Structure 1
């Protein structure tokens, strides 16, 4: 059974990659990419709700003093 000659594989793969690069490079260089999105600050709208004017504190039942 004859042996498989692999001595030309490196050259074939190298030239295939060079060919693919030379084919796709002009296509990619002409492609128009979208610009990067930028942050648009939104105007904060403060509405007047009754609970925004009050300061409230919610106590956890475990933090309350123990009554004996």
Structure 2
């Protein structure tokens, strides 16, 4: 049974890591980031929900 030649594995793995790193850098560099993000005030966006002011009684069934 012949031996498995592993002499090129290091070069293959290193080139794969370098290629993935380069592709990731290209992908990130094309992404647009907003220069000045503004905080959103959540208190201004409060909505009135009908069940905030009323309560509903839940009765257990008769045993």
- When normalised by structure 2's length, the TM-score is 0.46
Structure whose CA Rg is larger: 1
Q: Give the TM-score, by structure 1 length.
A: 0.44
